[in-house]
Structure 1
Amino acid sequence: MPAKSKAQQKAAGAALAAKRGDMKKSELKGASKSMEKSMSEDQLEDLASTKRKGKPEHVSKTG
């Protein structure tokens, strides 16, 4: 499941770093905090490894 936006990709990267112990879990905020709790390391790695080229910074919640 590739990331839909740059923001989602960055949040997944932060959550992955915390899950691996490279970053303190207490430093996480917002989406990255909930991603770390609810997603596996493999899922986070898949989102974080998405290429950013052509992705919008944010995706609207409509649709």
Structure 2
Amino acid sequence: MPAKSKSQQKAAGAALAAKRGDIKKGELKGASKSMEKSMSEKQLHDLAATKRKGKPENASKS
């Protein structure tokens, strides 16, 4: 499942880093905190590996 925005891709990257132990889980905030708890390492990797070119900074809420 590809990321829909740059911010979603960045949050997934932070959550993936915490899940792997590269950063402390306590340093996570907002979406990355809930992503780390609810998603598998593979799901996070798939989101984080999405190309950023052509993605909006934030996904629209419609």
Q: TM-score, normalised by structure 1?
A: 0.97
Letter in 1 for 2:61: K
Distance 1:56 1:25 in 2: 27
Distance 2:10 2:53 in 1: 13
Q: Which runs of 5+ in 2 are unaligned?
A: none
Give the corresponding residue for 1:2: 2
1:56 has 2:56 as partner: yes
Aligned pairs, number: 62
**Aligned-pair identity (%):** 85
Deviation at 1:60, TM superposition (A): 1.5
Task: Report the aligned-residue RMSD.
Answer: 0.4
Q: Which runs of 5+ in 1 are unaligned?
A: none
Runs of 4+ in 1 over 3 A off after TM superposition: none
1:15 has 2:23 as partner: no
1:38 has 2:38 as partner: yes
Q: TM-score, normalised by structure 2?
A: 0.98
